[in-house]
């Protein structure tokens, strides 16, 4: 049930009938205040201006042409020409019934698209850091959301598995294997990488061998390939554990690392040259882009091939976009990468468009995010200034959640406690990230994210258990409710209206890749349920009709909370 779309259509048609120019948008929004109704159309002012007409006069004519019989109980013109719509409770009732009995909460089927989602993208032989955590969590919520709506989602884990650093990594792996014939050194990737780098910087003989391995690896040398595979596999096995702990849906099959595009790169550079886009400049191959200016105000040069023949991160992303069109047949390709890589992507995509590798009909979207900061407002680090290991972070989250739950629930059996703490701890870390507008930096703060008050995972998970417990207490299941819904109390109406706004919420999240919109919706929904629950007795309602009607609202609330949290990748428990 997409109320916004229904009203947009109807009001748009009325605007046309009232003489507004073709293509006028009714600009229908949810009203910010109850006194302005449930929805507000703000498009009349703009249309009136184009027509040289008084906006209020146009608004009156629009309302005269507007047929919202059975949908709205009241239509009002306010201020300079806003149209306020008050929904008809019987109309809401009908759609609540539909949502309860339909497959996916009454959401209309979408035209299925193929959507590639580029997220997580850790680097080989390196520990995942907090930047990858953000990409992983937000990207996974996006994947779940698109999939729930019925789109075909292709998860693309653009792992950093190629580059000149592999010479040094192979040389170092060889060295430790020679020394103790095991791969133990790879258990701690952070230390492994550090040591490899140290040898490379300090030991000339090692460095020469490492550089030799780079060349050999690139030319497909069997030994180097094997060593490289080992590095990739061990890294991804470790990351896979992190994904599992985080309840992230990525699997080993989703890896589409940088190396996948290797074989495409020489052809792309040759083609860019043939098309006159790339030119030789000081030995390198460069694309000069008018769209970007360097410090001197001249077109910026983007290197696609270095003097020594090596390709760059940009060349790979050009190939990657092309591949997602040609081979994966994507309609949309969404990239969950931090905002510092925005210029990089824009340059790669400008080249992609200029070279005609993908048509206008396919969209490339950078769903960027800011940094995760510590309480001091500086980039998130350990107390001693090192990078925070993800596994340590998750351990701490679970431990803190365990203490919290034990305190609230001293008699909870130990195995249940462990499970609940896991769900709450991991949920808290994820929700803290998801609930913030991704475009800005955010402060990572344990106390905030684990609070039982406010827009947090524990609050949402607790709200869910409260609704679930009603049915337990009544010893009822949703299908036992047979009497019709009847909305009387204003709190019932407010809750029901919000329930019907799930579809427009999830569509917004899917369009814009903004899970915080879903979090805000669920948080508000939980709040509306609370006040309904306080003021409208459910199990001790005045009569059976009222009791079942209220139980139906509770049932749809439970389903909606559960579904919404599922799309975010946040788990629930039945009690906490």
Restricted to residues 368-427, the positions that interact with ligand ARG (CB under 6 A) are none
Q: Does 160 engage in binding with ligand ARG (CB under 6 A)? A: yes
- Closest approach of Cβ 14 to ligand ARG, in Å? 45
Name the residue among 513, 160, 508, 505 with its Cα closest to residue 334. 513
Please tell me whether residue 165 adopts helix, strand or coil conformation: helix
Do 569 and 147 contact (CB within 8 A), yes or no?
no
Please pick, from the candidates 93, 118, 140, 492, the single residue that binds ligand ARG as defined by CB under 6 A: 118
Q: Does 158 engage in binding with ligand ARG (CB under 6 A)? A: yes
Helices within 450-514 (DSSP H only)? 457-474, 490-500, 502-512
Residue with smaller CB distance to ligand ARG, 48 or 312: 312
Residue with smaller CB distance to ligand ARG, 315 or 501: 315
- Closest approach of Cβ 315 to ligand ARG, in Å? 11
Q: Does 84 engage in binding with ligand ARG (CB under 6 A)? A: no
Q: What CA–CA distance (Å, rounded) separates 44 from 448?
A: 43
Residue with smaller CB distance to ligand ARG, 26 or 318: 318
Select the span of 115-123, 408-416, 440-448, 493-501 touching ligand ARG (CB under 6 A): 115-123
The number of CA neighbours under 13 Å toward the Cβ of 507 is 15
Residue with smaller CB distance to ligand ARG, 48 or 124: 124
- Closest approach of Cβ 368 to ligand ARG, in Å? 11
Restricted to residues 307-346, the positions that interact with ligand ARG (CB under 6 A) are 317, 320, 335, 337
In whole angstroms, how far apart are CA 202 and each of 160, 172, 173, 206? 25, 13, 17, 8
Phi, psi at 552, each rounded to 5°: -65, -40
Residue with smaller CB distance to ligand ARG, 121 or 499: 121
Q: Are strands 278-281 and 284-293 parallel, antiparallel or unpaired?
A: antiparallel
Q: What CA–CA distance (Å, rounded) separates 435 from 430?
A: 9
Residue with smaller CB distance to ligand ARG, 311 or 335: 335
Residue with smaller CB distance to ligand ARG, 66 or 121: 121
- Closest approach of Cβ 212 to ligand ARG, in Å? 25
Please pick, from the candidates 26, 59, 121, 130, the single residue that binds ligand ARG as defined by CB under 6 A: 121
Select the span of 117-125, 136-144, 185-193, 466-474 touching ligand ARG (CB under 6 A): 117-125
Select the span of 27-35, 116-124, 260-268, 554-562 touching ligand ARG (CB under 6 A): 116-124
- Closest approach of Cβ 479 to ligand ARG, in Å? 45
Q: Does 161 engage in binding with ligand ARG (CB under 6 A)? A: no
- Closest approach of Cβ 346 to ligand ARG, in Å? 12
Query: Residue count at the site for ligand ARG (CB under 6 A)?
Result: 9
Q: Within its chain, how far is the Cα of 460 from the centroid?
A: 18
CB-based contacts of 236: which residues, under 8 Å, 6+ apart? 124, 159, 252, 255
The number of CA neighbours under 13 Å toward the Cβ of 337 is 23
Q: In terms of residues, how long is the chain?
A: 576
- Closest approach of Cβ 373 to ligand ARG, in Å? 18
Do 200 and 164 contact (CB within 8 A), yes or no?
no
Q: Within its chain, how far is the Cα of 421 from the centroid?
A: 24
Three-state secondary structure readout of 198-241: HHHHHCHHHHHHHHHHHHHHHCCCHHHHHHHHHHHHHHHHHHHH
Q: Does 285 engage in binding with ligand ARG (CB under 6 A)? A: no
Residue with smaller CB distance to ligand ARG, 210 or 348: 348
* Long-range CB contact pairs, 15-23, < 8 A, 24+: 15/43, 15/44, 15/47, 15/62, 17/62, 17/65, 18/58, 18/61, 18/62, 18/64, 18/65, 19/51, 19/58, 19/61, 20/44, 20/47, 20/50, 20/51, 20/58, 20/62, 21/47, 21/50, 21/51
Select the span of 33-41, 101-109, 118-126, 181-189 touching ligand ARG (CB under 6 A): 118-126
Burial environment of residue 175 by CB neighbours within 10 A (0 to 12, 13 to 18, 19 or more): middle
- Closest approach of Cβ 218 to ligand ARG, in Å? 19
Residue with smaller CB distance to ligand ARG, 93 or 433: 433
- Closest approach of Cβ 539 to ligand ARG, in Å? 52
- Closest approach of Cβ 313 to ligand ARG, in Å? 7
- Closest approach of Cβ 258 to ligand ARG, in Å? 7
Residues that bind ligand ARG (CB under 6 A): 118, 121, 123, 158, 160, 317, 320, 335, 337
């Amino acid at each position: 049930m997409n109320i916004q779309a229904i009203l947009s259509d109807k009001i748009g048609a009325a605007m046309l009938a009232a003489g507004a120019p073709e293509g006028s948008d009714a600009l229908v929004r949810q009203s910010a205040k109850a006194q302005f109704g449930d929805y507000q159309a703000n498009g009349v002012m703009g249309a009136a201006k184009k027509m040289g007409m008084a906006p209020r006069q146009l608004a009156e004519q629009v309302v005269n042409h507007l047929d919202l019989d059975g949908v709205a109980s009241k239509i009002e013109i306010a201020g300079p020409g806003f149209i306020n719509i008050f929904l008809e409770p019987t109309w809401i009732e009908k759609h609540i019934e539909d949502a309860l009995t339909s497959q996916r909460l009454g959401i209309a089927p979408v035209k299925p698209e193929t959507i590639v989602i580029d997220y997580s993208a850790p680097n080989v032989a390196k520990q995942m850091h907090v930047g990858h955590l953000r990409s992983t969590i937000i990207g996974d919520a996006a994947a779940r959301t698109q999939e729930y709506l019925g789109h075909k989602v292709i998860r693309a884990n653009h792992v950093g598995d190629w580059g000149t650093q592999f010479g040094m990594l192979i040389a170092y792996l060889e060295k430790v294997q020679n020394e103790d014939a095991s791969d133990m050194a790879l258990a701690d990737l952070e230390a492994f990488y550090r040591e490899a780098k140290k040898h490379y910087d300090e030991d000339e003989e090692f460095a020469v061998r490492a550089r030799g391995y780079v060349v050999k690896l690139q030319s497909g040398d069997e030994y180097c390939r094997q060593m490289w595979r080992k590095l990739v596999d061990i890294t991804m096995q470790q990351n896979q554990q992190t994904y599992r702990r985080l309840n992230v849906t990525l699997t080993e099959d989703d890896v589409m690392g940088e190396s996948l595009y290797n074989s495409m790169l020489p052809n792309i550079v040759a083609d860019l040259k043939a098309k006159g886009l790339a030119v030789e400049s000081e030995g390198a191959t460069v694309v000069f882009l008018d769209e970007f200016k360097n410090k001197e105000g001249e077109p910026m040069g983007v290197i696609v091939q270095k003097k020594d023949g090596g390709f760059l991160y940009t060349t790979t992303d050009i190939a990657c976009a092309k591949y997602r069109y040609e081979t994966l047949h994507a309609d949309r390709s969404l990239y969950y990468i931090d905002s510092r890589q925005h210029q990089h992507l824009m340059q790669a995509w400008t080249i992609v468009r200029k070279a005609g590798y993908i048509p206008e009909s396919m969209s490339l979207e950078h769903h960027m995010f800011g940094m995760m900061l510590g309480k001091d407002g500086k980039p998130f680090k350990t107390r001693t200034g090192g990078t925070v290991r993800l596994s340590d972070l998750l351990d701490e989250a679970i431990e803190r959640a365990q203490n919290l739950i034990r305190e609230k629930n001293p008699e909870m059996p130990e195995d249940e406690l462990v499970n609940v703490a896991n769900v709450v701890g991991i949920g808290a870390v994820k929700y803290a990230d998801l609930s913030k507008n991704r475009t800005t930096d955010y402060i990572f703060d344990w106390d905030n994210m684990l609070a039982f008050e406010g827009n947090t995972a524990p609050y949402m998970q607790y709200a869910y258990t409260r609704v679930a417990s009603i049915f337990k207490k009544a010893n009822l299941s949703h299908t036992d409710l047979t009497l019709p819904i009847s909305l009387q109390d204003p709190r019932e109406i407010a809750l029901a209206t919000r329930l019907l706004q799930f579809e427009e919420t999830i569509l917004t999240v899917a369009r814009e890749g903004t899970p915080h919109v879903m979090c805000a919706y669920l948080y508000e929904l939980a709040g509306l349920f609370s006040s309904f629950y306080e003021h409208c007795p459910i199990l001790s309602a005045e009569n059976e009709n009222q009791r079942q009607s209220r139980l139906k609202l509770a049932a749809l609330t439970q389903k909606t909370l559960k579904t919404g949290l599922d799309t975010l990748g946040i788990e629930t428990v039945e009690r906490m």
